[in-house]
Amino acid sequence: MSQFDTRLDRRHLLRVGAVSTAVSMSGLLGKLALAAEASQSKPKRSCILLWMNGGPSTIDLWDLKPGHENGGPYKEIATTAPGLKIGEHLPKLARHGKNLAILRGMSTKEGDHARGSYLMRTGQLPGAAGIQYPSIGALVSKEIGDPRAEFPNFISIAPQRFFSQEAYGPGFLGPIYAPLIVGENQNFANPQGDGIDALLKVADLERPTSIDSASAAARLEMLRDIHDDFVSARPGQMAKSHSAAYERAIRLMQSEGGKVFDLTTESDRIREKYGRNLFGQGCLLARRLVEKGVPFVEVTLGNWDTHGQNFDLVKNLCGSLDAAWAALMDDLRDRGLLETTTIVWMGEFGRTPKINQAKGRDHYPNAWSTVLAGGGIKGGQAIGKTSADGTTVEERPTTTLDMLATLCLALGIDYEKTNPSNVGRPIRIVDKPAQPIKEVVA
Amino acid sequence: MPSCLFRTALVALLLAPAWVAAADPEIPAKPDPAEAIAALIDRHLTTDWAARRITPAPPSDDAEFVRRVYLDLIGRAPKVAETRAFLEDASPKKRQLLVERLLTMPGYASHFAAVTRQAWLPQTATNIQFVGSGIQFGNWLQRQFTVNTPADEVVRRVLTVKLTLNFQNPQFRFAQGDANDPDSQMIAGFYQANEVRPDNMGSAVSRLFLGVKLECAQCHDHPFAAYTRDQFWEFAAFFAEMNPLPATRPTFVGPIEPQADRNTLTIPNTDKRVIARFFDGTDPAWSAERTPREELARWLTAPDNEYFAPNLANRMWAHFFGIGLIDPVDEPGDNNPPSHPQLLHELGQAFAAAQFDNRVLIRGITRSQAYQLSSRLTHPTQTDSRRFARMNLKSLTPNQLFSSLVAATGHREPGYMRQNQFNLNPQPNNPRSQFLNRFASNEKATESNTTILQALMLMNGQFITDQTSLANSEVLAAIMDVPGWDTKQRIDALVLTVFARPATPEELEKFASYVDRGGATNSSKKALTDVFWVLLNSPEFLFNH
């Protein structure tokens, strides 16, 4: 190597950690001191998104119409918040009424699964190819996450991305802000028991059983040399990102942190409490990740597309939802994490107040509900009001932008801040004309 | 274990060139327009380098070139026999001849169809609603690259295709081609993937075929460029037929215009009606003989359209260099000037003069000095990637990555798995679909990022584990079986297989000593699997350089 090359390499090595990735190339595959250091600086806030894939029937959950023909057979029950009533199939959650803020005035524009998912998860209408908007998980984790953290800042549990993969992506923020996905339910399987435990692990995190640890260490040592030779001659952002990804992957493999995904270390009592289903165990994993300081975790509960037999299906789904969410609230509260963890519950739209001939409800974005809870949220109240038949919003109509801006305020994020986009124009975290619901923010 | 017969065949491939120089395809007769294109690129870049006191990187060696040109032209790295044949070929024109050969391979059409589809209709890879449309249109594109349909003709056929529109379901507009014209049925996929909407079509057509992103003006006047909201909707109005007709027609109808109201639309949420108009401010000479889409195609592909040819040439440039001469490729304007305006202009002219023959443009670009530079940074003046003073590092597309893994490992992939273009739903027994899913990206080739899950898949995933195991690896078995080789020769063959270059003396020394001492487990065979794993996980394999 010439004099010149040596100088160049050293300068590059020194600079390489400065940007977002914050790892040094010379440290690639080498020292793992960073992990220990990073775990000291946990972010102050976390957010858990409970995503109801398929479009939940909010008229049967949060905004019942008893006595009206659109109301269906369900009754209302009281919660621990005076005057706040919810559907009878959420009894455990009713005990957390004081922590729930129900937004009953949601009124959005998209009644198609893909477009509705994209709208609710990015705040933007899907256009033709052009601007790729980031999902809310990418936006939030960029703001409140630590790029040097032991864990990825955005973890998506059991997503069902078949309606719209873009709605889950980092968009113009780039793959550094992409979610780490665990438990993607690829083929509509309904895993049980050990199958759930296996599914909820990070794909390929474990070294193949055929490779012993001495060989693995030797491989990484050789890889470091050959990696450094190549990238030091071709410096740039891409090489940095590549090095950072390998470094973080190896850190996750080698540190104790990977064990957070092993749910078998929890007691049977706790695991039963969350419910022995993918969503329940996913919520348990979400709690464990928040304990480790992960700033944004989302858990998906699917099968809400109840065009037929709505009331049987919703009752069944409520069983999973109620147990898992209530257990999550209990555990966060008991650990002192509820004040710093904001929970948002939503799907891509609500469902028609009018009950169809198949005893189902169809897609309905015009008047429906979402829920905010926990940290930064003034609970025990419902904001907004729908008409007696549930078809229109009569008070405080709330757009997706309003709801997302409210979430940002609760998390302490300046939603008017901009990010550079792929089209050269800076774009706000939550675009105009967002009007956050200030009375919900604590 | 791999069959003995197969392994013997692999051994033969490791040792022998795949083709002989005598079988070279013909070189096009002179005057060769590709030579003129290469010369004009060289002239402009050399002048620019001199003016900026830039010292360009040295030319790529044959190994660097062969890997690069295979990846860029047929979408995978070369197999070891292909590399060996090229390196051993003594012909002074062998780079040019290799390009000719690659242009005739089926992989050329399928790779260019795939990258064009990804650039034109990215939504068809990720949105389940558009997948079928993407496959249809991609198949049509592949046919066009196979028969070398001129690039302007491809655009003309897309714009003027005969369609039957169906608006019965207000949530889902439906465009069908002519039942007697299979091509039109496939082209209809382009419209379907744009939801058969005038606004989507208008923005796609101006962005893809003219390099002008009008859609920022969809809701408000463009902040940086001189396009207004009215201009956006006037352009979209060439596709006004894709709006359902109003339920009740107005009772008074004035003198009937040639287009009736098929070139007119109302800007949403306003009362404003606009008539189709080109964004340079000119109007078509409306006639009953031609539909609005035909008018648009005539203007757009006309020789004097100042946007069309440079845009297509620039997109081809960006394919080979990772960065366009205007970049982003679709945002002309004061804040995004071309890096080499005159080169861009002349490249567009030359492409048009060559009747928009993609292969001529490809020959010209790949013969240029800039395309053949090394990617190694050898002088501090080479850091600005927009000066093309060294080859930019480019990420591999998911298909390039997996196809290169297939080439390097000898994995036998069933044909139907190779056809997979859809990254949404990975199938358990289809490793390509799993790679497409994990490596899906819409980032620029020079600015892409690696994710943790991608790194984990490459290090620990089933496919690489299988392909580097003694029990399954065809390549390792073949390399171990070559009689009379010492360890260094086996290492050299392995490096040639994965990196398409001979091993350096340092690599030979280091890896051979590791293997000879039995690695970490006292088994030289297992130690060789470690080396193979290291090579497959190294950035030299994972990037196009």
- Decide if pLDDT at A8 tops 50: no
pLDDT at B246: 61
- Decide if pLDDT at A432 tops 70: yes
Tokens linked to B520: 């970490």
Q: Indicate the pLDDT class of residue B445, thresholds 50, 70 and 90.
A: confident
- Decide if pLDDT at A176 tops 50: yes
Q: Kindly provide the ipTM of the predicted complex, given to two decimals.
A: 0.88
Tokens linked to B475: 């390549």
pLDDT at A238: 83
Alpha-carbon separation of residue B210 from B204, B229, B293, B305 (angstroms): 9, 18, 15, 9
- Decide if pLDDT at A32 tops 70: no
Cα separation of A386 and A388, whole Å? 7
Q: What is the mean pLDDT of residues B182-200?
A: 95
Which among B428, B457, B539 has CB closest to A230?
Answer: B539
- Decide if pLDDT at B3 tops 60: no
Query: Which of A28, A238, A250, A362 best tests the B interface by mutation, with the highest count of B CBs <10 A?
Result: A238
Which among A178, A236, A249 has CB closest to B459?
Answer: A249
- Decide if pLDDT at A299 tops 70: yes
With CA atoms as reference, the chain B residue closest to A246 would be B455
Secondary structure of chain A in HEC code, one letter for each residue: CCHHHHHHHHHHHHHCCCCCCCCCHHHCCCCCHHHHHHHHCCCCCEEEEEEECCCCCHHHCCCCCCCCCCCCCCCEEECCCCCCEEECCCHHHHCCHHHEEEEEEECCCCCCHHHHHHHHHHCCCCCCCCCCCCCHHHHHHHHHCCCCCCCCCEEEECCCCCCCHHHHCCHHHCHHHCCEEECCCCCCCCCCCHHHHHHCCECCCCCCCCCCHHHHHHHHHHHHHHHHHHHHHCCCHHHHHHHHHHHHHHHHHHCHHHHHHCHHHCCHHHHHHHCCCHHHHHHHHHHHHHHCCCCEEEEEECCCCCCCCHHHHHHHHHHHHHHHHHHHHHHHHHCCCCCCEEEEEEECCEECCCCCCCCCCCEECCCEEEEEEECCECCCEEECEECCCCCCEEECCECHHHHHHHHHHHHCCCCCCEECCCCCCCEECCCCCCCCCHHHEC
Q: What is the mean pLDDT of residues A255-281?
A: 92
> Distance from A439 to chain B by nearest Cα, in Å?
31
Cα separation of B41 and A17, whole Å? 37
Decide if B37 contacts B361 (C-beta within 8 A): yes
pLDDT in tens, B380-390: 999 999 999 99
> Distance from B353 to chain A by nearest Cα, in Å?
31
Mean pLDDT of chain B, nearest integer: 89
Decide if B286 contacts B264 (C-beta within 8 A): no
Cα separation of B307 and A406, whole Å? 44
Q: Which range scores top for mean pLDDT: B10-24, B141-155, B245-259? A: B141-155
Decide if B76 contacts B92 (C-beta within 8 A): no
CB contact under 8 A, B453 and A203: yes
Is the entire prediction scored with pTM above 0.90? no
Q: Indicate the pLDDT class of residue B253, thresholds 50, 70 and 90.
A: low
Q: What is the mean pLDDT of residues A316-342?
A: 97
Of A143, A164, A145, the closest CA to residue A153 belongs to: A145
Tokens linked to B5: 């017969």
Residue B298 exposed, middle or buried by CB count within 10 Å (0-12, 13-18, 19+): middle
Scanning B225-254 for CB atoms below 8 A from A yields: none
Q: What is the mean pLDDT of residues B95-107?
A: 97
| B369 in contact with chain A, both atoms CB, cutoff 8 A | no
> Distance from B377 to chain A by nearest Cα, in Å?
6
Local structure of B413: helix, strand or coil: coil
> Distance from A242 to chain B by nearest Cα, in Å?
5
| B535 in contact with chain A, both atoms CB, cutoff 8 A | yes
Q: What is the mean pLDDT of residues A339-361?
A: 96
> Distance from B194 to chain A by nearest Cα, in Å?
6
pLDDT at B6: 54
From B10-14, B111-115, B221-225, B483-487, the region with the lowest mean pLDDT: B221-225
From A231-245, A302-316, B173-187, the region with the lowest mean pLDDT: A231-245
Instruction: Report the b/e string of B84-118 with b at 16+ CB within 10 A.
Output: bbbbebeeeebbbbbbbbbbeeeebbbbbbbbbbb
Query: Which of B197, B459, B542 best tests the A interface by mutation, with the highest count of A CBs <10 A?
Result: B459
Bridge-partner residues for B164, per DSSP?
Answer: B176
CB contact under 8 A, A210 and B424: no
Q: State the amino acid at position B241 in one-letter form.
A: E
CB contact under 8 A, B449 and A205: no
Which among A165, A215, A226 has CB closest to B538?
Answer: A226
Q: Which residues from chain B sit within 8 angstroms of residue A130, using beta carbons?
A: 203, 207, 213, 215
Q: What is the mean pLDDT of residues A385-408?
A: 97
pLDDT at A36: 40
Alpha-carbon separation of residue B284 from B160, B276, B293, B303, B308 (angstroms): 15, 8, 11, 16, 17
Strands A46-52 and A341-347: parallel
CB contact under 8 A, A241 and B204: no
Calculate what percentage of chain A has a pLDDT beyond 90. Answer: 67
With CA atoms as reference, the chain A residue closest to B426 would be A186
Q: Indicate the pLDDT class of residue B213, thresholds 50, 70 and 90.
A: confident
Q: Indicate the pLDDT class of residue B109, thresholds 50, 70 and 90.
A: very high
Local structure of B295: helix, strand or coil: helix
Alpha-carbon separation of residue B189 from A122, A126, A393, B113, B136 (angstroms): 27, 19, 39, 14, 6
Q: Which residues from chain B sit within 8 angstroms of residue A5, using beta carbons?
A: 378
Alpha-carbon separation of residue B183 from B109, B165, B190 (angstroms): 17, 17, 12
pLDDT at A198: 82
Tokens linked to A289: 């990740």
Cα separation of B214 and B544, whole Å? 32
Instruction: Report angle CA B290, B296, B299 to the nearest 5 degrees.
Output: 105
With CA atoms as reference, the chain B residue closest to A166 would be B126
Q: What is the mean pLDDT of residues A160-164?
A: 82
- Decide if pLDDT at A35 tops 50: no
Report long-range pairs for B359-363 (Cβ below 8 Å, ≥24 apart): B359/B103, B359/B148, B360/B33, B360/B34, B360/B37, B361/B34, B361/B37, B361/B313, B361/B316, B362/B73, B362/B99, B362/B103, B362/B316, B362/B320, B363/B28, B363/B32, B363/B34, B363/B37, B363/B38, B363/B96, B363/B99, B363/B100, B363/B103
pLDDT at B11: 60
Mean pLDDT of chain A, nearest integer: 87
From B19-23, B424-428, B477-481, the region with the lowest mean pLDDT: B19-23
Place of tokens 């950072």: A244
pLDDT in tens, B290-320: 999 999 999 999 988 999 999 999 999 999 9
pLDDT at A11: 33
Q: What is the mean pLDDT of residues B88-95?
A: 97
Alpha-carbon separation of residue A123 from A110, A145, A411, B129 (angstroms): 11, 20, 17, 21
Q: What is the mean pLDDT of residues B475-481?
A: 91
Cα separation of A194 and B121, whole Å? 40
Cα separation of B322 and B375, whole Å? 12
- Decide if pLDDT at A364 tops 80: yes
- Decide if pLDDT at B39 tops 50: yes
Q: Indicate the pLDDT class of residue A7, thresholds 50, 70 and 90.
A: very low
| B456 in contact with chain A, both atoms CB, cutoff 8 A | yes
Calculate what percentage of chain B has a pLDDT beyond 90. Answer: 70
CB contact under 8 A, B456 and A239: no
> Distance from B203 to chain A by nearest Cα, in Å?
8
- Decide if pLDDT at B377 tops 80: yes
Q: Indicate the pLDDT class of residue B30, thresholds 50, 70 and 90.
A: low
CB contact under 8 A, A207 and B460: yes
Scanning B22-51 for CB atoms below 8 A from A yields: none
Tokens linked to A190: 């309904």
pLDDT at A420: 87
pLDDT at A127: 67
pLDDT in tens, A129-146: 468 899 999 999 999 998
